[in-house]
Amino acid sequence: MYDVQSIRKDFPILAREVNGKPLTYLDNGASAQKPQVVIDAITQAYSMEYANVHRGLHFLSNLATDKYEAVRGTVARFLGAADENEIVLNSGTTEGINLVAYGWAMPRLEAGDEIILSVMEHHANIVPWHFLRERQGVVLKWVDVAADGSLDPQAVIDAIGPKTKLIAITQCSNVLGTMVDVKTICAEAHERGVPVMVDGSQGSVHAPVNVQDIDCDFYAITGHKLYGPSGSGAIYVKKERMAEMQPFIGGGDMIKEVTKDGVIYNDPPMMFEAGTPGIVQTIGMGVGLEYLMNLGMENVAAHEASLRDYANAKFKGLNWLNIQGNAPGKAAIFSMTLDGAAHAHDISTILDKRGVAVRAGHHCAGPLMEHMGVSATCRASFGLYNTTEEVDVLVDALELAHELLA
């Protein structure tokens, strides 16, 4: 039994008021709130257990190292990886994708080689590939989404040509909520000898993930969207791909030996983890992932699907509200505009007066905004602790915004 009211008690911030109204937090797509167990783990790590990892022989260093390294196994279980050594710990999806760009793609791609992207990628899954376009002459091939925001996996497969070296694709759009059939894309791409990197920043939040079943080559996640701290994340790298990679950040921990004449690198995945890491952030992420696994990602997905369906039913009564893309099976993420000239920032400001936190802007998805023909949207993104009553609060606030801005 999924008891959302009991779950809400695990998140202290949900009890506060904003502008004299109960907080209705619908900006989960940007960053999720933290349960008390994560907050407690961070406090404990800093107040009683803190030391640098991997470098000391004293009690606190060993304790911090054990807790930090245990998260590698936690991530592997959460993602369904076969081996925890396929997990590289980092600061989040952005660093993970840059690792793929610099560590795997840059040494292998030449001028004229192609990377396939969809138009609904987050900038974190666009900008690193533009670096390769600017510096090495790599060609970016774009696949459009349908009018309802869905992405046909066959359209991605059809874009593969003899020069295609990588597909970099989101599993779930942070703007539209569209869920992408990455398993089919991976299967067909591998038939053609093309690796696939999946941006799992949103996909891992809203549904169970098994990277072995998907059979992707890379899968990146970010901790702060998974109810953990900011500055934490990880990327799954299939062993075959990891063996092909070069390190792209140099420093402590990623080496075995340094002399005047050369460097002997550490074994993977440590080879890709330079410098003092986000020790406490990573420990907190591990606790957040354990929290999710205890709830059951199937249960989280079912709860969020019920919120999505309830919200869709409520939105149908607002004939002045435009939902940008509403693909079947999408996550509970809604990007909205109002009829007329109302700007997303004005809508968001009015909603905030009612205690409703949403995101307004281009959502780090410039190509998608251009494709949709809008400069900005108002995005309401639901999480595991949101309720149908909060959908009603959102609808009432949208009606006020329409009344004031129409």
- Give tens-digit pLDDT for 247-257: 999 998 899 99
Residues 320 and 369 placed together within one structural domain of the fold: yes
Whole-number mean pLDDT of the chain?
97
pLDDT tier for residue 32 given thresholds of 50, 70 and 90: very high
Residue 350 to residue 237: CA distance in whole angstroms? 44
- Give tens-digit pLDDT for 344-392: 999 999 999 999 999 999 999 999 999 999 999 999 999 999 999 999 9
* The pLDDT of residue 340 is above 90: no
* The pLDDT of residue 30 is above 90: yes
Q: Is-catalytic flag, 364?
A: yes
Residue-range definition of the domain harbouring residue 19: 4-30+297-405
3-class DSSP state for residue 243? coil
Domain boundary residue among 294, 324, 354?
294
pLDDT tier for residue 55 given thresholds of 50, 70 and 90: confident
Region 193-212: what's the mean pLDDT?
Answer: 98
pLDDT at residue number 106 = 97
- Give tens-digit pLDDT for 146-155: 999 999 999 9
Q: Are 272 and 250 in contact (CB under 8 A)?
A: no
pLDDT at residue number 1 = 85
Residues 55 and 110 placed together within one structural domain of the fold: yes
Domain boundary residue among 294, 318, 336?
294
* Residue in 186, 216, 364, 378 annotated catalytic: 364
pLDDT tier for residue 90 given thresholds of 50, 70 and 90: very high
Q: Are 247 and 274 in contact (CB under 8 A)?
A: yes
Residues 261 and 215 placed together within one structural domain of the fold: yes
pLDDT at residue number 151 = 98
Q: What is the DSSP string of 125-180?
A: GTHHHHHHHHHH-PEEEEEPPPTTS---HHHHHHT--TTEEEEEEESB-TTT-PBP
Residues 69 and 134 placed together within one structural domain of the fold: yes
Residues 174 and 232 placed together within one structural domain of the fold: yes
Residues 73 and 201 placed together within one structural domain of the fold: yes
Q: What is the pTM of this model?
A: 0.97
Region 62-78: what's the mean pLDDT?
Answer: 98
Domains of the chain: total: 2
Residues 355 and 290 placed together within one structural domain of the fold: no
Residues 114 and 235 placed together within one structural domain of the fold: yes
Residues 209 and 347 placed together within one structural domain of the fold: no
- The arrangement of strands across the sheet holding 218-222 comes to 87-90, 233-237, 218-222, 196-199, 164-170, 114-118, 139-143
CATH number for the domain harbouring residue 260: 3.40.640.10
Residues 212 and 149 placed together within one structural domain of the fold: yes
* The pLDDT of residue 103 is above 90: yes
